[in-house]
Structure 1
């Protein structure tokens, strides 16, 4: 069973090329570390089909682990400046792509079934402009299209990365503000809205984002 020729709507990966966590996990094993599975037995080095190098049960265990990871909880939700930043986030239309609320469909895992959650993404591809067009693509995504990354946990990522931010699809942005200013294409109006904010409003917006 190969995933290579599927034409499902993707939600995972920088280019939304994977349609579920099994697909994403199999791709990571195969493309990132060169391990074949029953789902994708093609060796990335020789392009030949070889025997699976990892048990299907192990792949399924990893998928279950990823599915059931606890979502990060927003910090400082009652802080007045954080609340102000949330209002500004909506006013300059960041929420048109970084949606604050999504709902899961049915899942055989009861804890995941029909749950409302706050990932701050729409999990869709968007034109991000020429500045983020690096000539790379997957599937049918254009070189300038990128999936909206979830913002939940972004305020914790600095501590998880040695005290530094490495944002955007290739880690080129070293701060949340620099990431905002790299937005183009469909997000250009929101970037302009940010640039037109007062310094105090910018700080409030950044504090809100860091609280996620």
Structure 2
């Protein structure tokens, strides 16, 4: 009996060590940001963009807002819990002038969360940022209507509304609706705004975002 218990505990310990040694998702991306900051100090009082691949792939960010100091700290594939997890390293230390957030779409696409849960995850992120940066304005870019995730659009729309309603009660915040302008006059998704994968955006997609976001930037 003692031998069985010993081997059970040994197996459990080995498994625990193995799990502990597994890399945290997106750790390498965050380390890359930190290494980049060591080589060249990030700009002060920048407008920080964070979130998932729609932010990470915004290659024209600086040229789209030439009169603004912007900093891209998006990491592709991230969910709200990922952004919460790395906020102490990828958002808060920069003490930005303003924060622009696009995240949540990957949460919905997991097929495991409700709109309310997405909203609650966003509130967790918002609360964490506000605790450290209470006066920093925050813009949330609504989740977009990606064609490849059509079956999740009802949840996307509901989650967008819940987040919009939450932000309406908070100070120094803006909710940017990009869902509606990415539809045509008949309510169909504008295919020319998306790449061949029907998920990530073409330059035309970013043009829509840029036009809508410009008036909200400080």
TM-score range, shorter chain: under 0.3
Q: TM-score, normalised by structure 1?
A: 0.25
Bigger RCO of structures 1 and 2 (CA < 8 A, at least 6 apart)? 1
Q: TM-score, normalised by structure 2?
A: 0.24
More helix by share: 2
More strand by share: 2
